[in-house]
């Protein structure tokens, strides 16, 4: 499932950057989902909904996307129907159907129960979607009847999935504007925890099932010849060794962890977009902080402190020593000590600064997160020991509990601003890889049981007691240590006007670290004079987000000034001022939007300080999707929008960066004059 999730995200990101290919992707995936057996493996629905989410922002156009999706669904169903009509009962003996007899049986039962309606209903049921068109062909359903029903099914399928995606896309873009910080954070946490709780047992079950299916064919291949690879696989898949599946799972975790760690390390060293995403996510999470949630997050992060991790390790090692499981005790110590030492050495080697300034000495360096690395190593190795002696249900519960605990500790580091996203990701990746390596070596030599129930109880008890005592004694001090303190850059007013303005970012950075529209305005001092000057020149405040204004998006003839403005984030920060301009020199059906954010810099002059703001101005064209809705499409030409803004601020001083392309000539307005 992790791989599928990554694949879906990559496909959606690729589609957003390549509009024409996105429509072809929708067609192919909608068609592939109808193919027998293979359709169950294709994440078509998830990607199609994701493509629909790109429509409200203007990346894709609704009707072509719906049309290609419907055409793909119709094509896939038609091919499946013709396959069943041609081969009839012989199809059950063909590969890959003979490997999945249950799929065909379920399809036949469903078709027998619903008749022709099954073709329509199954389009919305992943379990039988890949079988019903073929079953309809095998049952002798006439082609005219099938295609009449299937055309309706394909159209409804496309409309439902694209509109659902559009609703998600619009909701995501307005979430920051219509929800309080606490609600946003609660949704983030609930979504993350729900995703972990949903994915973990499925990953475990599907991994075990996949490995079990591959075990026989691979053993046959290993026994068919000689060579070190065949001998190694034959030994590992020996039916006399019940640990085989566990070893293979750990091997996969080792490969994935190493790949992830070095991928993040490369991005950090090279300064790739992940580093820009680090800063954006940092500022975004800091903007969501509230005193009540701070209390909870500090308590969670204290569960990952050495004052909690070491007592849990000592109790677990003591239990293992009492059971005379000396090898397990040694590997447990090696897991935590090795991971902690590695994290320390990486920190002093890279000297990657933390986002927060409340740390001193070697602790001021952040990559990778020691909390994430040590917690993953400790609880990960305990999971290896416990799962070796328990059944499948207990394995899922233990793994899920450990994943939630380690994930909560890792998230607390992000929320409190103690680490960047890359720090936490690298710490988790290395911890998983290190535990997997030790687990593989341990399971190949372990001979003594550790009494999984006793180890679980003692470890959990140590966590409760040690964690509780540490929270009780250190919480007040840690609340001060992790108090919200955003880094602020200082510059003199003279230096800013003398060229320091060019050191500020040239373009907005979104949460994924990508560069967006250019900053064409820098404003020193309060925003009230800027707002007043623009109001006097015909600019206005946009309509606020509420139920009635949100409904405007559903009207096919909405006016540009009646639509609320979709919020944008810069480096995780929300806008401080948004204004719009319609009419006059602005073409009909368009509106100009000025967005202003805090720059993170303050200017000093004559012993006083004042904030510095940065802003963008873009043109949006309203597209009417009659009779259903209205959408906006952001224009690429920044120059004309900027000239309108400049005309509204007479006397403002323009400066020039290096030309940035046809859409922007590099001009930046510095104000006030």
* DSSP letters spanning 463-479: HHHHHHHHHHHHHHHHH
Cα separation, 546 vs 396, whole angstroms? 43
Q: Are residues 356 and 442 in the same domain?
A: yes
Cα separation, 598 vs 573, whole angstroms? 8
* Residue 204: inside a domain: no
- pLDDT, position 595: 93
116-130 pLDDT per residue, tens = 777 777 777 765 676
* Residue 652: inside a domain: yes
Residue 641's H or E segment, with its range, is helix 638-648
Cα separation, 136 vs 298, whole angstroms? 59
Domain end (from 151, 177, 203): 177
Q: Are residues 142 and 258 in the same domain?
A: no
- pLDDT, position 586: 87
Q: Are residues 440 and 370 in the same domain?
A: yes
- pLDDT, position 379: 92
* Residue 442: inside a domain: yes
Domain end (from 137, 159, 177): 177
Half-sphere exposure for 602 (CA within 13 Å, toward CB):
10
- pLDDT, position 206: 65
Number of domains comprising the chain:
3
Q: Are residues 149 and 19 in the same domain?
A: yes
Residue 616's H or E segment, with its range, is strand 608-625
Burial class (CB in 10 A: 0-12, 13-18, 19+), 4: middle
Q: Are residues 114 and 50 in the same domain?
A: yes
Global pTM value:
0.55
Whether 616 and 639 have beta carbons less than 8 Å apart is answered as no
Q: Are residues 472 and 515 in the same domain?
A: no
Q: Which residues pair with 619 in a beta bridge?
A: 592
* Residue 202: inside a domain: no
Cα separation, 68 vs 77, whole angstroms? 14
Q: Are residues 506 and 465 in the same domain?
A: no
Q: Are residues 581 and 659 in the same domain?
A: yes
Average confidence (pLDDT) per 10 residues, the chain, 673 residues: 45 59 82 67 69 71 85 86 74 52 60 73 70 78 84 85 72 45 50 59 62 64 64 56 63 81 82 74 77 81 91 91 86 90 88 76 83 92 84 79 89 88 90 88 72 85 89 86 79 90 87 80 91 92 78 76 84 86 87 91 88 92 72 81 88 78 83 79
Q: Are residues 514 and 436 in the same domain?
A: no
> Nearest CA to 245 among 4, 440, 399?
440
> Nearest CA to 123 among 234, 48, 62?
48
Question: 269: domain range?
Answer: 254-481
Q: Are residues 347 and 317 in the same domain?
A: yes
- pLDDT, position 326: 86
* Residue 244: inside a domain: no
Q: Which residues pair with 509 in a beta bridge?
A: 515
* Residue 220: inside a domain: no
* Residue 241: inside a domain: no
The C-alpha R_g of the chain, in whole angstroms, comes to 29
Domain end (from 414, 447, 481): 481
Burial class (CB in 10 A: 0-12, 13-18, 19+), 466: buried
Q: Are residues 460 and 528 in the same domain?
A: no
Q: Are residues 370 and 274 in the same domain?
A: yes
* DSSP letters spanning 385-405: HHHTTS-HHHHHHHHHHHHHH
Q: Which residue has the tokens 């944008």?
A: 568
């Amino acid at each position: 499932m992790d791989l599928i999730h990554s694949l879906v995200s990559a496909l959606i990101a690729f589609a957003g950057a390549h509009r024409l290919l996105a429509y072809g992707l929708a067609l192919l995936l909608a068609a592939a989902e109808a193919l027998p057996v293979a359709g169950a493996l294709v994440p078509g629905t998830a990607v199609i909904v994701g493509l629909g989410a790109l429509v409200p922002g203007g990346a894709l156009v609704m009707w072509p996307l719906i049309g290609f999706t419907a055409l793909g669904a119709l094509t896939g169903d038609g091919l499946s129907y013709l396959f069943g009509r041609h081969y009839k009962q012989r199809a059950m003996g063909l590969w890959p159907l003979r490997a999945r007899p249950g799929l065909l049986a379920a399809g036949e039962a469903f078709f027998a129960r619903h008749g022709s309606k099954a073709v329509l209903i199954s389009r919305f049921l992943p379990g039988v979607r890949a079988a019903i068109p073929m079953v309809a062909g095998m049952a002798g359903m006439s082609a005219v009847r099938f295609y009449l029903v299937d055309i309706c099914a394909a159209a409804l399928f496309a409309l439902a999935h694209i509109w659902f995606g559009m609703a998600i896309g619009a909701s995501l873009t307005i979430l920051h504007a219509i929800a309080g910080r606490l609600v946003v954070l609660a949704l983030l946490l609930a979504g993350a925890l729900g995703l972990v709780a949903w994915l973990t047992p499925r990953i475990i079950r599907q991994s075990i099932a996949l490995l079990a299916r591959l075990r026989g064919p691979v053993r046959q291949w290993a026994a068919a010849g000689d060579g070190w690879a065949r001998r190694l696989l034959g030994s590992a898949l020996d039916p006399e060794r019940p640990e085989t599946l566990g070893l293979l799972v750990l091997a996969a975790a080792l490969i994935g962890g190493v790949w992830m760690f070095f991928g993040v390390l490369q991005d950090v060293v090279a300064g790739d977009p992940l580093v820009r995403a680090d800063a954006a996510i940092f500022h975004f999470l800091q903007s969501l902080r509230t005193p009540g949630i701070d209390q909870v997050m500090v308590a969670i992060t204290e569960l990952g402190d050495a004052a909690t991790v070491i007592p849990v390790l000592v109790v677990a090692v003591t239990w293992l020593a009492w059971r005379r499981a000396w090898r397990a005790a040694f590997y447990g110590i090696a897991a935590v000590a090795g991971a902690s030492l590695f994290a320390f050495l990486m920190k002093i080697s890279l000297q990657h600064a933390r986002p927060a300034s409340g740390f001193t000495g070697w602790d001021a360096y952040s990559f990778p997160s020691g909390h994430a690395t040590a917690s993953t190593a400790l609880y990960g190795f305990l999971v290896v020991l416990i799962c070796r002696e328990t059944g499948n249900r207990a394995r899922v519960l233990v793994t899920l509990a450990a994943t939630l605990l380690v994930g909560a500790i890792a998230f607390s580091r992000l929320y409190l601003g103690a680490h960047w996203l890359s720090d936490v990701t690298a710490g988790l990746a290395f911890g998983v890889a290190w535990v997997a390596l030790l687990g593989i070596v341990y399971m190949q030599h372990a001979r003594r049981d550790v009494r999984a129930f006793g180890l679980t109880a003692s470890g959990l008890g140590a966590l409760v007691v040690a964690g509780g005592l540490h929270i009780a004694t250190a919480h007040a001090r840690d609340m001060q240590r992790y108090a919200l303190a955003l880094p602020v850059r200082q510059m003199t007013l003279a230096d800013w006007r003398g060229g320091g303005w060019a050191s500020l970012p040239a373009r907005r950075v979104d949460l994924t670290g990508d560069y967006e529209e250019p900053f064409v305005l820098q404003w020193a001092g309060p925003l009230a004079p800027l707002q007043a000057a623009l109001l006097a020149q015909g600019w206005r405040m946009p309509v606020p987000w509420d139920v009635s204004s949100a409904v405007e998006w559903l009207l096919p003839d909405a006016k540009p000034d009646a639509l609320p403005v979709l919020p944008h984030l810069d480096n995780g920060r929300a806008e401080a001022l948004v204004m719009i301009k319609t009419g006059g020199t602005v073409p009909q059906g368009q509106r100009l939007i000025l967005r202003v954010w805090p720059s993170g810099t303050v200017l000093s002059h004559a012993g006083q300080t004042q904030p510095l703001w940065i802003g963008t101005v873009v043109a949006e064209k309203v597209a009417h999707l009659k009779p259903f809705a209205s959408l906006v499409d952001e224009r690429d030409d920044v120059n004309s929008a900027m000239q309108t803004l400049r005309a509204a601020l007479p006397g403002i001083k323009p400066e020039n960066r290096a030309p940035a392309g046809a859409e922007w000539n590099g001009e930046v307005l510095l104000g006030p004059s």
